């Protein structure tokens, strides 16, 4: 769809799994290292959202075994984001 994602991107004091600056989108892949880290992940996400970033989270097993589904969700998110931006520009 023409968007570039950077892997292991430092943002502030964090490193995110994937980041697209044009979409201001962070993609996190949650695996075993995230189990039991719900509060820490929530705090981290909240801090990054305060910078205007959006988040998509996927389970690592879905990435490994259901990649088509993951990509479909990402495409859907991008299409909806583009529509939202288009509507915002019309109202300006």
How does pLDDT run along the chain (92 residues), one tens digit per residue? 899 999 999 999 999 999 999 999 999 999 876 556 678 888 999 999 999 999 999 999 999 999 999 999 999 999 999 888 887 777 66
Q: What was the pLDDT predicted at 38?
A: 78
Q: What was the pLDDT predicted at 76?
A: 96
- With beta carbons less than 8 A apart as the criterion, state whether 30 and 60 touch: yes
Q: What was the pLDDT predicted at 87?
A: 79
Q: Domain 6-90 maps to which CATH number in 1.20.58.110, 3.50.50.60, 3.40.960.10, 1.20.140.10?
A: 3.40.960.10
Q: pTM of the prediction?
A: 0.85
The answer for residues whose C-beta is within 8 angstroms of residue 18's C-beta and 6 or more apart is 5, 6, 7, 9, 26, 27, 28, 29
Q: What was the pLDDT predicted at 36?
A: 62
């Amino acid at each position: 769809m023409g968007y570039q994602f950077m892997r292991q991107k430092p943002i502030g004091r964090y490193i995110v799994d994937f980041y697209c600056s044009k979409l201001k989108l962070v993609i996190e892949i949650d695996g075993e290292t995230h189990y039991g880290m719900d509060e820490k992940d929530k705090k981290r996400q909240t801090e990054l959202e305060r910078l205007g970033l959006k988040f998509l989270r996927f389970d690592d097993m879905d990435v490994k075994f259901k990649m088509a589904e993951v990509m479909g969700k990402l495409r859907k998110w991008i299409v909806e984001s583009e529509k939202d931006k288009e509507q915002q520009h019309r109202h300006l």
